[in-house]
Structure 1
Amino acid sequence: MMLLQALALAISLMESWVLDDSDPVYQPGSCPFLDDAFNCFNNGRPDLDYLRYRWKPHGCHIPRFDGRQMLRMLRGKRMVFVGDSLNRNMWQSLVCALRESVENKSRIFQIEGRREFRTRGFYSFNFVDYNCSIDFVKSPFLVQEWRSSDRRGNRRERLRLDMIQTPSFNYHDADIIIFNTGHWWTHQKTYKGKNYFQEGRRVYNRLEVNEAYQKALRTWAKWVDSNINRSHTRVFFGGYSASHFRRGKWDSGGHCHEERQPITNDTQLKPYPLMMKILESVISEMKTPVFYLNITRMTGYRKDGHPSVYRKPDVHQRTPGIIQDCSHWCLPGVPDSWNELFYAAYLLSHHDLSS
């Protein structure tokens, strides 16, 4: 575990994006597995400057992503991403990067159809020649969303802070699991009137979002410690990915479409999120080793990497009032660097297991 801890420290000290004209791990517009919302090149974004940067650590070398080596390490294994759409960003980035390294791309199969995925929250790709699957399970809060109707037929929504979300497809015995949650824990998305958060039989009249987040993470941590076989499964947690809305929020005119370069002045970075301090505290108390991919600071610089108006096939016909996406990331793009960090961490974990 010492090597993993050392890498975690190195990641936390990374402070700069540097210009790098190397080819991306997959070419813009080349991967058919991307959601339209992330495919900025196909959606008409005219510049590719956001692909010319690489995250560089101080005093540490991060190896370049090697898709064939990654697939060899994943041979016979199941890898599962569990979380929100930012984790889906990372999952699709990895699938596309691995696809690029496969000579016979017809040997990659979608286990579930796209419509099935959207209705049941599960999606999977199988790399036949390596007998491995890369899955995504939608769980934006990690804990259970609860919907019911009263006698009058009025719909009620609650978030059960004491119950892990029950997936349609089991994943607790996967070889690698990458969790995340964060972007849905905002007052706009969790405050839906009184009595939204529930714990046991107690329904909270009012509860601060950060306190609810901490309760949910403790429920997740307890579930992991009770259900994950630590000798078989490697657990990762992806940190909070920064947003860059200017002059408004996502639903009030916030925008980022004019951004073409990363932030270079540290004073312009947003404060480190309290939610990540809560997450770090919870992880430190767990019995299960969890490798924390702390991407918060590195994404804080990248105001240039979001889909903005290039989020749907017809967004080049921009109309007044269009909602911009300054939370997710263009693919290829910034999430490819997250997978480079994961690749380095997984290389070290293999070294730990063999030493």
Structure 2
Amino acid sequence: MVLDWFSWLAVWKQCDYSDGRWVWDDGHGGGGGGRPRELRHEDDVQVRRQRQARRRVPALAVAAGGGNLSALDPAAFLRLVRGKRLAFVGDSTARNQAEALVCHLATVARPVTVRRDEERLGRKFWRWSFPAPHDVNISTYWSPFLVRSEGHSEDYAMEHEVVFLDALTEPWAADLDAMDVMVISAGHWFPHGAIYYDDGRIVGVHNRPDMNRTEMSVVDVYRKVMQRTLERVNSMSSGDKLVVVATIPPAHFDSKYSWNHRDACSRQTPYDAGEAKVEDTEAALRKVVLDEVAIAAARRRRRRRGLRFEVLDVTRLASMRPDAHPGVYIFKHAYAGGPVPETAPNDCLHYCAPGPVDTFNDILMQMIAGGG
């Protein structure tokens, strides 16, 4: 049994979507009318792997007899967020989710692509506008550490990072108050070698044996950044706002191969129950999000403002889908079944649409709707 979209709201809080299993979608769930068969970016045509969409069944709802997570209905979503600004802030996993959402919404309404300061920022800022009667804007803000950084994340020719823990990045911090729905998704850049500054001085490093400085834990740095980010959101939001913080979706690079080997993420089926393992660092980063969002939510309740914090807990559900990455299908000949050299561009980090990234947006829709 698959509940319709509105029935799902009645059982939303009873379903633990973060701890369930993946099942094949028969195409009849929800009101979405099926998934887009591939994702293409308007100016960066990167063909995503065609796959049967799999839907996720929350474990508690299965025991109760029917709590399937309803598929996002693009027309209903546009009605729900009419006149609002949605922003995805963080690293490329945030952009991955935003692009999948825009792709799905584009099946019912044609978006207009708007860029700001393209020459300087490139894909670090992107905005899609769904004109009247929707008046919906969806933006992505490149900010892999959420705070200001210089180094490899800005220039791949550089080897390390310099991270300023007390300086949030522009332009997302400047646009913060105008956001109605803010999705924060970051984490994959934190294990990189880095020098950390705070209040104008070096306070530590990570994975920099060439420097005689205090080694800082990636998890501690992530917690500090998350605390300061949510404190800024709390202090700078004057109106109603939903702030959703995503936990880290794991990559699935097969340790038997180098990252750019054609078989680095070639699995064709999801993991079975108990087969997937969330690594210690990813589990710790997930817990930081759970802890800090709970603290931010408690602080918000004391101030009684129209600000709501939620966790988009995707770590465990994404960990079960090693089959859902673009893999070597970002290589232009692979999609057509052509030969792929042993060493080729390979993506075992981002998720294809249809697949897990669509499920992230299914859950996001329920969070938006749950606020009334």
What TM-score do you get using the length of structure 2 for normalisation?
A: 0.78
Kindly provide the CA deviation profile for residues 194-229 of structure 1, in whole angstroms up to 9, marking residues without a partner as x: xx1111133022322122111111111221111123
| 2:70 counterpart of 1:71 | no
- Greater Cα shift, 322-331 or 24-33: 24-33
- Greater Cα shift, 322-331 or 268-277: 268-277
Shift of 1:72: 0.9
Compared with structure 1, are the counterparts of its residues 34 and 279 closer, same or farther at alpha carbon in structure 2 (3 Å cutoff)? farther
Aligned pairs for 1:99-114 within 5 A: 99-102=106-109, 105=110, 108-112=111-115
Whether the 8 Å contact between 2:182 and 2:243 is mirrored in structure 1 is yes
Q: Counterpart of 2:349 in 1: which secondary structure?
A: coil
Q: Counterpart of 1:145 in 2: which secondary structure?
A: strand
| 2:165 counterpart of 1:143 | no
| 2:265 counterpart of 1:266 | no
What is the alpha-carbon distance in structure 2 between the residues aligned to residue 243 and residue 155 of structure 1? 21
What is the alpha-carbon distance in structure 1 between the residues aligned to residue 113 and residue 18 of structure 2? 38
Residue of structure 1 in register with 2:240 after alignment: 232
Shift of 1:8: 6.4
> Which residue of 290, 295, 318 maps to 2:340?
318
Compared with structure 1, are the counterparts of its residues 337 and 13 closer, same or farther at alpha carbon in structure 2 (3 Å cutoff)? closer
Whether the 8 Å contact between 2:18 and 2:316 is mirrored in structure 1 is no
Kindly provide the CA deviation profile for residues 154-204 of structure 1, in whole angstroms up to 9, marking residues without a partner as x: 998510112211217623321111111111111xx2x15xxx111113302
Whether the 8 Å contact between 2:38 and 2:47 is mirrored in structure 1 is no
| 2:316 counterpart of 1:297 | yes
Give the root-mean-square deviation of aligned CA atoms: 2.9
> Which residue of 176, 180, 186 maps to 1:181?
186
What is the alpha-carbon distance in structure 1 between the residues aligned to residue 346 and residue 40 of structure 2? 23
Whether the 8 Å contact between 1:25 and 1:65 is mirrored in structure 2 is no
| 2:50 counterpart of 1:56 | no
> Which residue of 19, 28, 34 maps to 2:24?
19
Compared with structure 1, are the counterparts of its residues 165 and 109 closer, same or farther at alpha carbon in structure 2 (3 Å cutoff)? same
> Which residue of 353, 357, 366 maps to 1:331?
353
- Counterpart residue identity of residue 284, structure 2: L
What is the alpha-carbon distance in structure 2 between the residues aligned to residue 114 and residue 9 of structure 1? 44
Shift of 1:98: 0.8
| 2:216 counterpart of 1:197 | no
What is the alpha-carbon distance in structure 1 between the residues aligned to residue 183 and residue 165 of structure 2? 20
What is the alpha-carbon distance in structure 2 between the residues aligned to residue 116 and residue 320 of structure 1? 35
Question: Larger relative contact order (C-alpha < 8 A, sep ≥ 6)?
Answer: 1
Whether the 8 Å contact between 2:166 and 2:198 is mirrored in structure 1 is yes
What TM-score do you get using the length of structure 1 for normalisation?
A: 0.81
After superposing on structure 2, the runs of 4+ consecutive aligned residues of structure 1 that deviate more than 6 Å are: none
Compared with structure 1, are the counterparts of its residues 239 and 175 closer, same or farther at alpha carbon in structure 2 (3 Å cutoff)? same
What is the alpha-carbon distance in structure 2 between the residues aligned to residue 348 and residue 126 of structure 1? 24
- Counterpart residue identity of residue 164, structure 2: R
What is the alpha-carbon distance in structure 1 between the residues aligned to residue 80 and residue 357 of structure 2? 20
Compared with structure 1, are the counterparts of its residues 99 and 165 closer, same or farther at alpha carbon in structure 2 (3 Å cutoff)? same
What is the alpha-carbon distance in structure 1 between the residues aligned to residue 87 and residue 26 of structure 2? 31
Residue of structure 2 in register with 1:84 after alignment: 91
Shift of 1:101: 1.8
Compared with structure 1, are the counterparts of its residues 254 and 225 closer, same or farther at alpha carbon in structure 2 (3 Å cutoff)? farther
Shift of 1:35: 4.6
Shift of 1:32: 5.0
Whether the 8 Å contact between 1:34 and 1:92 is mirrored in structure 2 is no
What is the alpha-carbon distance in structure 2 between the residues aligned to residue 254 and residue 162 of structure 1? 40
Shift of 1:248: 4.7
Q: Counterpart of 2:175 in 1: which secondary structure?
A: coil
What runs of 5+ residues in structure 2 fail to find an aligned partner?
A: 1-7, 62-66, 152-157, 205-212, 301-307
- Greater Cα shift, 252-261 or 197-206: 252-261
Compared with structure 1, are the counterparts of its residues 312 and 171 closer, same or farther at alpha carbon in structure 2 (3 Å cutoff)? farther
Compared with structure 1, are the counterparts of its residues 96 and 120 closer, same or farther at alpha carbon in structure 2 (3 Å cutoff)? closer
Compared with structure 1, are the counterparts of its residues 25 and 93 closer, same or farther at alpha carbon in structure 2 (3 Å cutoff)? farther
Compared with structure 1, are the counterparts of its residues 223 and 254 closer, same or farther at alpha carbon in structure 2 (3 Å cutoff)? farther
Aligned pairs for 1:112-131 within 5 A: 112=115, 116=119, 119=122, 121-129=124-132, 130-131=134-135
Shift of 1:78: 0.8
| 2:102 counterpart of 1:95 | yes
- Counterpart residue identity of residue 77, structure 2: M
